[in-house]
Structure 1
Amino acid sequence: MFTRFTQLLYVTLLSCLLLTGCNQQPTTNTVKDTRPATLPQLQPGEAVATFAGGCFWCLEEELQLLKGVREVVSGYAGGDLENPTYEQVGTDQTGHAESVQVYYDPKVISYDVLLDGFFAGHDPTTPNREGPDVGTQYRSIAFYRTPDEKVRIEAAIQRENASEHHQDRIVTQVVPFKAFYPAEVYHQGYYRLHPDELYIRKVSQPKVEEFRERMAKWLKPEAVQ
């Protein structure tokens, strides 16, 4: 009897998470600002990197915690449709993945450390899914802008495969960067703005805490708990 109850409880919880996943509309009653966010201006000496690793709400929060990272913007990359909307990307037909663009100071944090943070921030072993979120828009991608970045991404994948962080092999795509389209304003900073949402509490928060542990020595002072 207890076993059957446990199974039913698990199925119910899983169903709730699926219904409140990253592809669902926010449950807040506030009016959503659906205008595309504005990309920040690149500052002197600053570099930019673009990654996709499941729901962008979580990955944005994680990488924003790192020293040397000035800003992280949620958006879309990897597809062909120009200026896609959240709803269009959610159809799994645009080729885009939910992505983040990171503006950082390479004198403070290297691209290699940023890659370590990217791999620590999601499960790069599940093709076309991340936890309860399923579809090509949730695939893992590291976009490179130069041949050197491609080499560094491939080296980071080798490090991850050689580590004990994952039971399965890395399936992250290594793709040349073409374009990044910022997501709607209401997606930016979503993790911090909606701490009580079921998806954030049950899916995102545990991932962020695990990220904090693995990247502890690279956290900003104000991000250390």
Structure 2
Amino acid sequence: MKLLKTKTKMKIIRITFLGIILMASTNCQPKNTSTKSDIAKETTFPKEAFTTEELQNYETAYFASGCFWCVEAIFESVEGVKEVYSGYSGGKEENPTYEEVAYGRTSHAEAVEVYYDPAKISFTKLVQVFFGSHDPTSLNRQGPDRGAQYRSIAFYKNDEQERIIKDYIDLLESKDAYDRPIVTQVVEFNTFYKAEEYHQDYERKNPNNSYIRNVSIPRLNRFKKNFESYLKKEIQH
């Protein structure tokens, strides 16, 4: 896959993405509506389990681009990514809860923590996955989810990562990839608070949830279609 699609293709992808998610009437709101039938089966592919000690051998990256149920599933489909956790970052409050964040009572955004093997995927490609899987021109909104808690953020942990993010934004804008300015925040990483356990692997465990069916799975499938070469081999078509 080319590092940057043509202007026309990028616009078609963005419009298609918006059309899919804007048709949904559900949203990523604080309620656990899972039933026994919802969690009876898992979606996508078998997931390899890692211990905390094993994960320490990998690098971490942090992103926010809307409902973390969607974002977690996208990054977990990428070759070289070992584990992804849903959580909260970008704010000042300590130990936030889902209800506080989802109702906009904190300055945090729903975010993900990505553990990856730099020998198999670079931070640059993770940034491409981030921008290629959501609308970075949408201010404080992704699809049906509205509020600053759903804003677009690319976090960096060092000067090199900051440069990579900003250079890629410059490249997208120089190619007029979007009709509107990119509003993604480029923020130095501080703290990541892991979300409540029932949020982890939410899409996988709740395939019949209305939000998952109408928003999350279509978003994942769109990403898989456009980034097929980035996918884990077991889920490539």
How many angstroms does 1:105 deviate by? 0.6
Alignment pair present for 1:175 and 2:187: yes
Structure number with bigger Rg: 1
Q: Match of 2:165? A: 153
Q: Identify unmatched segments of 5+ residues in structure 1.
A: 1-12, 31-38
Highest RCO, 1 vs 2 (Cα 8 Å, sep ≥ 6) = 2
Amino acid in the other structure paired with 2:202: Y
Letter in 2 for 1:155: D
Size of the aligned set, in residue pairs, is 202
d(CA) in 2 for partners of 1:69 and 1:14? 29
Q: Relative to structure 1, is the Cα distance of residues 163 and 219 closer, same or farther in structure 2, using a 3 angstrom cutoff? A: farther
Aligned equivalents of 1:163 and 1:55: distance in 2?
28
Report how far residue 206 of structure 1 moved. Answer: 1.7
Alignment match, 1:198:
210
Match 1:74 to one of 86, 91, 95: 86
Unaligned runs of 5+ in 2: 1-20, 37-50
Is residue 100 from structure 1 mapped to residue 112 from structure 2 by the alignment? yes
Corresponding residue for 1:63? 75
Residue 138 in structure 1 maps to residue 150 in structure 2:
yes
1:208 match: 220
Residue 3 of structure 2: aligned partner: none
Tell me the distance in 2 between the aligned counterparts of 1:181 and 1:146. Answer: 20
Matched, 1:88 2:100: yes
Which deviates the most, 177-186 or 86-95?
86-95
Contact 2:69 2:202 in 1 (8 A): yes
Distance (Å, rounded) in 2 between the aligned partners of 1:28 and 1:177 = 32
Structure-1 residue corresponding to 2:32: 26
Report the AA paired with residue 21 of structure 1.
N
Range 71-80 or range 117-126, more displaced? 117-126
Amino acid at match of 1:50: Y
How many Å apart are 1:162 and its aligned residue?
3.9
1:91 and 1:83 map into 2 onto residues whose CA distance is 15
What is the CA deviation profile of residues 169-219 of structure 1, one whole-angstrom value per residue up to 9, with x for unaligned ones?
Answer: 211000011100000000000111111122111111221111112211110
Correspondence list, 1:15-54, <5 A: 17=25, 20-29=26-35, 40-41=52-53, 42-44=55-57, 46-54=58-66
Give the share of equivalent positions with the same residue, in percent.
46
Q: 1:14 to 1:165 in 2, by over 3 A?
A: closer
Structure 2 residue identity aligned to 1:47: E
In structure 2, how many angstroms separate the alpha carbons of the residues matched to 1:223 and 1:194? 19
Letter in 1 for 2:27: G
TM value normalised by structure 2: 0.80
Deviation at 1:166, TM superposition (A): 3.2
SS of residue matched to 1:210: helix
Q: Partners in 2 of 1:104 and 1:221 — Cα distance?
A: 16
User: AA paired with 1:130?
Assistant: Q
**Secondary structure at 1:72's aligned position in 2?**
strand
Taking the aligned partners of 1:124 and 1:14, their CA distance within structure 2 comes to 15
TM-score of the aligned structures, taking structure 1 as reference length: 0.84
Secondary structure of 2:88's aligned partner: strand
